[in-house]
Structure 1
């Protein structure tokens, strides 16, 4: 089961799916004259950190013989079967180590040179965040989970994406804000949904579900994997042209608001189109 989880994790990380929300609250304010503010307070899990990376590095050592009967049910292996499987395992050791080294190098490149198996990796990630503008609190909780407070405000003269980490290119966005012609703003929050199963933390067939199974099977060695739980709110004095909230715009002291409750079963990414005219 651990090998299955590791096999699922690698392509997600190398494909840019590095981060997932835990418990959080997030708000985006969009006002006339391009004024904006964005906050995110809560947990972010960096999937490459914690015991999963450690298990990936040590997976070559975990030989277990597996045998099945005529009905394809698990059966006890004979000494001859164990010896045969062990010989095949040993013969493939060189190829496995070479592949492991290639994957580790790819992962370091994705992480901007940070080695996820390094015990100091989490502190290095926290240091990178703390020196970037907007990150007001970055506390490492273990198993790749950071407790953070992020806040920025100003004039929105260009597109905005959260989160970004210096040196880590192509990381998945929780929230993106895109400016359109005609004084329109498009907001998408792909990190707050399981749309097209792009976020491995969402859904019954997720990495989190596999991890829970592995933890039960292997005595609790799997890391904690946080589940998304929170709210995302847009506050604006603009005109809401489109949105996919359940309730639609609600009155707000600053104009109107849109709000989404996010959970492990959230399928649609929050989205809105707002005009300022």
Structure 2
């Protein structure tokens, strides 16, 4: 499949059919995987909420919980609740349903563009994307490809290393992973395409950062995302390289917390992501 075709298919996958006021139906990909990829549900929920908001408002954060594994065999229904409409901020809540049950909740805040104070973290010094390893190729070499390589065909992911391999020891952050990512094909200039495809890609490898300090074989760990949060700081293009600086400040109780800073190549901090998930060692 060509890069352009894969990107068109991803954009089409994330588009939604409107069934009624604030009610939408999402498509499903052709896949051999058993559970719906979390980034897909998060991105489709974001699009559903945005369809109910005036264009002068822009999403600045989303917070979500994964409740049940999604079923690829049936469409997902997205029901949007208009929690609050203010002069500067709007709030929406989306429930994703299958088989009559909620599988995912997402709450989003939108804001009109305003001027204010500005500061940001500095981007770490890292190798360029061209010196990274193709993540899909690594998954195939390790026998860890369960169909994700097909779903991620529109993503170009270059792995720079983690705390067990390729990165220098960091006592302050003992469990880290570094990646470059971009949508592997040209998107339109519609900001929603970039927000949605970034949200889709933001689930890539994030929970793996919680395993980086342990050198654990993912095939011997039961892993599942429990929640997912994104703060959008500044506009950017998802089809141009962005650095995903991931680290895990804590793991315990069979759960791991992972954080990620997202930088464009010029060093601009454009988003911050957080996720907690199940990382249960298998006997």
Q: Same fold judged by TM-score > 0.5?
A: no
Higher strand share: 2
Q: With CA pairs under 8 Å and 6+ residues apart, which has the higher RCO, 1 or 2?
A: 1
Shorter-normalised TM range? under 0.3
TM-score (norm 1): 0.24
